[in-house]
Amino acid sequence: MGNLPTVPTYQPRNTNRARELRNQATPAERQLWRHLSRSALGAKFSRQMPVGPYFADFLCRDRRLIVELDGFSHDLRPEHDAARDRWLRDNGYRVLRFPNAEVFANLEGVLTVIREALEAPH
């Protein structure tokens, strides 16, 4: 009985909050999701996924890549975003941030940056 394997601690995910965030997606998030869903860029993305204490707008688990879209509310809390990005990087994630307006003005450019990040070694 002395060598029983340890059971990992169960970490419940806040799926109700994730569902709520998906239902409240901004027009920019909906626009980008049309291109990230169904593995359109060659990698599987999920949206509004819990990652530690945060929610990622779009997460590619395999490549440990997070894509964040920033609207007006992010202008009001740059320190929060910086701390969040630091925590994510410290835990092995790469974070790409785009303003919502960039999705509408330069969608192809946004997709190109995401595609290049997916192709880069991680």
What φ, ψ does residue 98 adopt, rounded to 5°? Answer: -135, 140
- pLDDT band of 19, cuts 50, 70, 90: low
In a domain, 80, yes or no: yes
| Domain-located, residue 50 | yes
* 12 lies in some domain: no
The model's confidence at residue 103, banded by pLDDT at 50, 70 and 90, is very high
Closest to 52 in 3D by CA, of 80, 94, 13: 13
Give the whole-number percent of the chain exceeding pLDDT 90: 65
When the pLDDT of each residue in the chain is averaged and rounded to a whole number, the result is 84
| Tally of domains in the chain | 1
Q: Tell me, yes or no, whether 122 lies in a domain.
A: no
For residue 52, being part of any structural domain is answered with yes
- Where is mean pLDDT largest: 5-9, 25-29, 96-100? 96-100
* pTM metric for this prediction: 0.79
Q: Average pLDDT of 74-78?
A: 64
Select the more confidently predicted residue: 78 or 111.
111
Q: Are 55 and 21 in contact (CB under 8 A)?
A: yes
Alpha-helix residue ranges (DSSP H) falling in the chain: 15-23, 27-36, 72-75, 78-90, 100-105, 107-119
In a domain, 54, yes or no: yes
Distance from the first to the final alpha carbon of the chain: 41
In this prediction, residue 10 carries a pLDDT of: 43
Burial profile 13-37: b = 16 or more Cβ within 10 angstroms, e = fewer: eeeeebeebbeebeebbebbbebbe
Could you tell me if residue 13 is inside a domain? no
**What strand order describes the sheet that includes 65-70?**
46-51, 54-60, 65-70, 94-99
Domain range for 76 is 26-117
Angle of CA points 64, 27, 22, to nearest 5°? 55
Let me know: does 69 contact 40? Beta carbons within 8 Å.
no
Q: What is the pLDDT of residues 23-67, one digit of tens each?
A: 568 999 999 999 999 888 999 999 999 999 999 999 999 999 999
CATH number at residue 92: 3.40.960.10
pLDDT for residue 12: 54
